[in-house]
Chain A
Amino acid sequence: MPVGASCLMLVIAVLVANVLKHVLAGLVKLTVSAARPRKDYSLQPSVSILLPCYNEGKTVYDTVESISRSNYPNHKFEIIAIDDYSTDDSYQWFLKSQEDFTNIRIRVSRNPQNQGKARTVCNALKQSEAEIVLSIDSDCIFHPEAIRELVACFVDPKIGAVGGAVGVRNVNDNIVTAIQTFVYYTNFRLMKVLENWTRSVICISGCMFAVRRDLFLNLEPKVRGRRWLGIEVNDGEDRFLTHQILLAGYGTVLNSSAQCWTTVPNTLPGLFKQQIRWQRSGVRDFLLTLQTLPQHVWTQHPNTIYNLVIPTLAAMSSVVVMLILMFPYSFFLFSVAPGLFLLYGAGAATFDALVRKHNPEQAVTSPLRLAAFAVWIVAGRLIEIIAMLTLDSRDWGTRAKAVALQESAQEESPSQALELDVATAAGD
């Protein structure tokens, strides 16, 4: 078989497998009760909510306010809020929330210099004395039941970390947020079902990451000292920590009843940056997987191994193959792409119907939503390539401003500067 045809078959096989995985996940979700975590609401351990922040502005106030309305016993949890040397008034909003929400305990502090999210979380961890720590993103709004739902899952001593379902706050800002609503919904409501079944969720979102403090403390040096070829790594701490928890022999699970909503980027550059960061952490995790696979391949659940290796490997190889095919076999773009658009458009239509039925607050109104999602899924694969080639980046996160990035890019890495150019160009 010619190389082009072989590559094409590989890409199609990966895409078909992806679709089948979604279908299987849907069936499991509907029929297998074990796919849902075991819960005990009488379990009420002390909880420290670790709230790192960088340039969030007033959003942090809203986040703290949502937590203050939690129905988890107030004396059982505290907020440890650390501002990572923001250049805006985030710290002042922290202080204001501390003054305003006196029903809960809030500890506010500020890093003497910008250290990145992972290290800021670690700093917050050091201040915690609770049994469970809940690391959250500073742009999220939490459901009053969120903390209770999360800690209820720790009734199983083998569970090391619990995540929740993250929704989108600004669903209908524009088509960019509409796309992400679909992405979030599929990721949290469907994609992790199979992983949940075997208690081996590969990546618990940093938006809402509950973990046993002792376990986190054991792993904290690894998180803090995470480097890649000598460069500090600041992104993807959630995926890294989840991976380490799995390697430590604990299970990870997602409780979709624990809900929060995050503000997603509403510009293409913002989305572009976020996706690069996510993909980058995925690639790094894949490299970590390759390093640790020999010693863990027999100790981990086969589904864990599968989820650690296959999806990323398939995505990376298919993206590279797609790029290779695009030039000498440009017909691929015009013969297969329409089929892919239709396939993913149909998938989006299904999710759209599910969202409208089960989570109406996440319903997207844009008439272009299905097409935009399909285009994003296919065209967004280019981001995976860029992520693979910018592993030396030290981006903080979603709130890193372009100007700040540009300054640090000149100091840090040419590839990161290029990434910024691409993000800016995408915005233009």
Chain B
Amino acid sequence: MRNEFLLYVSGGLHTALHVLLSKAVLLLYRVFAIVALYGVLVGVFAYAVMLGVYAINTSWIAPVILAPTDQRSLDVTERLITTRNSLEDLTLEMNRQKSLLAEMKQHRAALKSLQPELEAAVVRERQHNKVAAKDLLRLNQQKRADIDKTRGLVDDVNGVEAEIQRDLAANLITKGEAAIQRAQLNQTRNAATDSQINEVLLRDSVLQKSTIGTQILDVLDKRAELESQIAQLDISIAIAGQEIATVQAQVERLNKAINLATQTPYFLAVSGEETLHFAFVPYDNRTSVWVGAPVYDCYLHVLLCRQVGTVKRIFESEEKTQNPIFRTDMRGFLIQLDLQNEESAKSKTLFLNHRPLLL
């Protein structure tokens, strides 16, 4: 009887404990279920609202943190160094070309300065020859006339020699006197021959003065050589000028590229000592961007927003990234932000101009 009572009591106790435990577990389950259910529902609803907001909002931007070790920053830095090296090489080459050009120009100027002197000398010589030729021609004519006269005299001299021979034979004169007279006659003949030689020489001079001779040809050859040198220098100068222009253009392009590269956010991120803040703006939202536009950061993506800075700078180059919410590919550009709150740079999105839900 006692055992049965104990069994009854223990059984009842066991049942009561079981019921109590079940109720406790049920209570815990219900609390958990209500919290979880409302959590899921609120979460899904909030998620749907958030998706809706991002689907229609055109003022959101996605902050981008560019570390110096960022691959794109490293790429830009590397490219910049390479470009600067190329620029230095090109500058050296350009300077060399310029020196060469200056030297060629100087040489050309020197040659060019010879040209008028040569021309003047030629003209002068030609004029002189012209005048001299006339004089010589006249003298030559006169000389010929003189020679003709001399030739008559020589004929007379021949008659005189015969008379000397007869006088000698007739012993009218001594041999000595005859030799002296004959020597005088030979002198006359020599003088006549000299006159003929001089006439030939004079004619030759006339020919030289009145026609183009080898001397003038030499001068002309030198003039042609001079002109050729000048022409070659002109070509070299022109080529050097073109090369310099090309190098100059390359240098300008490289300078421009360097300037652009140094203005990219990726370079700015690694070059400055201060931490700079950037954000991606999809093209669809570009109408909301201008320098000085206020930037808002929100809790829970779109709620309880506060101004955290302004737009400082707009970069033109195109960027591609993924939509932070929808994870679809997007095209857009970067802007630099002036953030008062550093933590906002870590937010998934920020908003421009106004709060997305005006909250």
Binding site for B on A (CB under 8 A): 229-231, 323, 326-327, 330-331, 334-335, 382, 385-386, 389-392, 413-415, 418, 422
State whether the Cβ of B327 lies closer than 8 Å to any Cβ in chain A: yes
State whether the Cβ of B40 lies closer than 8 Å to any Cβ in chain A: yes
Known: A326-B47, A415-B37, A418-B37. A331 touches B326 (CB 8 A): yes
Which A residues lie within 8 Å of B51 (CB)?
A: 330
Known: A229-B22, A391-B29, A422-B41. A415 touches B34 (CB 8 A): yes
Q: State the CA gap A231–B44 with chains docked (Å).
A: 29
Query: Size class of B's contact patch?
Result: 20 to 34
Q: State the CA gap A153–B25 with chains docked (Å).
A: 43
Q: Which residue of B lies closest to A229 (CB)?
A: B26
CB distance from A326 to the nearest CB of B (A): 7
Could you say which of B33, B44, B325, B326 contacts A415, with CB atoms under 8 Å apart?
B33
Q: State the CA gap A264–B33 with chains docked (Å).
A: 28
Could you say which of A323, A335, A382, A415 contacts B327, with CB atoms under 8 Å apart?
A335
Once the chains bind, are A330 and B33 in contact (CB under 8 Å)? Answer: no
Q: Which residue of B lies closest to A425 (CB)?
A: B41
State whether the Cβ of B23 lies closer than 8 Å to any Cβ in chain A: yes
Q: State the CA gap A230–B28 with chains docked (Å).
A: 13
Cβ contacts B4-38/A at 8 Å (1 or 0 each): 00000000000000010011011001101110111
State whether the Cβ of B3 lies closer than 8 Å to any Cβ in chain A: no
State whether the Cβ of B292 lies closer than 8 Å to any Cβ in chain A: no
CB distance from A273 to the nearest CB of B (A): 15
Could you say which of B23, B36, B44 contacts A389, with CB atoms under 8 Å apart?
B36
- Of residues 41 through 78 on chain B, the ones whose CB sits less than 8 Å from some CB of chain A are 41, 43-44, 47, 51
Q: State the CA gap A382–B43 with chains docked (Å).
A: 12
Known: A229-B22, A229-B25, A330-B327. A385 touches B34 (CB 8 A): no
Q: State the CA gap A413–B43 with chains docked (Å).
A: 22
Once the chains bind, are B34 and A327 in contact (CB under 8 Å)? Answer: no
Could you say which of B26, B43, B327, B328 contacts A392, with CB atoms under 8 Å apart?
B26
- Of residues 102 through 149 on chain B, the ones whose CB sits less than 8 Å from some CB of chain A are none
Which B residues lie within 8 Å of A382 (CB)?
A: 40, 44
Which B residues lie within 8 Å of A385 (CB)?
A: 40
Q: With contacts A229-B25, A391-B33 known, what are 11 further pairs, Cβ within 8 A?
A: A230-B23, A323-B40, A326-B47, A327-B47, A330-B51, A331-B322, A334-B327, A382-B44, A386-B40, A389-B33, A389-B36
CB distance from B300 to the nearest CB of A (A): 11
CB distance from A367 to the nearest CB of B (A): 26
Q: State the CA gap A390–B26 with chains docked (Å).
A: 11
Q: Which residue of B lies closest to A231 (CB)?
A: B26
CB distance from A139 to the nearest CB of B (A): 29
Q: Which residue of B lies closest to A323 (CB)?
A: B40
CB distance from B52 to the nearest CB of A (A): 13
Which B residues lie within 8 Å of A414 (CB)?
A: 30, 34
CB distance from B358 to the nearest CB of A (A): 24
Which A residues lie within 8 Å of B22 (CB)?
A: 229-230
Known: A327-B47, A331-B327. A413 touches B37 (CB 8 A): no
Q: Which residue of B lies closest to A326 (CB)?
A: B47
Q: State the CA gap A390–B29 with chains docked (Å).
A: 9
Q: Which residue of A lies closest to B20 (CB)?
A: A230
Once the chains bind, are B19 and A330 in contact (CB under 8 Å)? Answer: no
Which A residues lie within 8 Å of B325 (CB)?
A: 330
Once the chains bind, are A334 and B47 in contact (CB under 8 Å)? Answer: no
Q: Which residue of B lies closest to A415 (CB)?
A: B33
CB distance from B102 to the nearest CB of A (A): 64
Q: State the CA gap A422–B40 with chains docked (Å).
A: 12
Q: State the CA gap A386–B37 with chains docked (Å).
A: 7
CB pairs A–B below 8 angstroms (12 shown): A229-B26, A229-B29, A323-B40, A330-B51, A331-B322, A334-B326, A382-B40, A389-B33, A391-B29, A392-B30, A415-B37, A422-B41
Q: State the CA gap A385–B37 with chains docked (Å).
A: 8
Which B residues lie within 8 Å of A330 (CB)?
A: 47, 51, 325-327
Which A residues lie within 8 Å of B40 (CB)?
A: 323, 382, 385-386, 389
Q: State the CA gap A392–B23 with chains docked (Å).
A: 11
Q: State the CA gap A241–B22 with chains docked (Å).
A: 23
Once the chains bind, are A392 and B33 in contact (CB under 8 Å)? Answer: yes
Once the chains bind, are A392 and B326 in contact (CB under 8 Å)? Answer: no
Q: State the CA gap A353–B325 with chains docked (Å).
A: 38
Which A residues lie within 8 Å of B19 (CB)?
A: 230
Q: Which residue of B lies closest to A382 (CB)?
A: B44
Q: State the CA gap A422–B19 with chains docked (Å).
A: 31
Q: Which residue of B lies closest to A414 (CB)?
A: B34
Q: Which residue of A lies closest to B24 (CB)?
A: A229
Which A residues lie within 8 Å of B25 (CB)?
A: 229
Q: State the CA gap A142–B73 with chains docked (Å).
A: 74
Could you say which of A230, A326, A389 contacts B37, with CB atoms under 8 Å apart?
A389
Which A residues lie within 8 Å of B43 (CB)?
A: 327
Which B residues lie within 8 Å of A326 (CB)?
A: 47
Q: State the CA gap A327–B45 with chains docked (Å).
A: 12
Once the chains bind, are A392 and B29 in contact (CB under 8 Å)? Answer: yes
CB distance from B179 to the nearest CB of A (A): 141
Q: Which 8 pairs across A and B sit closest by C-beta, in order of nearness?
A: A331-B327, A389-B33, A229-B26, A230-B22, A415-B33, A389-B37, A229-B22, A334-B326
CB distance from A276 to the nearest CB of B (A): 11
Which A residues lie within 8 Å of B38 (CB)?
A: 418
Which B residues lie within 8 Å of A323 (CB)?
A: 40
CB distance from A426 to the nearest CB of B (A): 11
Q: Which residue of A lies closest to B40 (CB)?
A: A385
Q: State the CA gap A323–B41 with chains docked (Å).
A: 11
CB distance from A423 to the nearest CB of B (A): 12
Which B residues lie within 8 Å of A231 (CB)?
A: 26
Which A residues lie within 8 Å of B26 (CB)?
A: 229-231, 392
Once the chains bind, are B44 and A390 in contact (CB under 8 Å)? Answer: no
Q: State the CA gap A108–B8 with chains docked (Å).
A: 42
Which A residues lie within 8 Å of B47 (CB)?
A: 326-327, 330
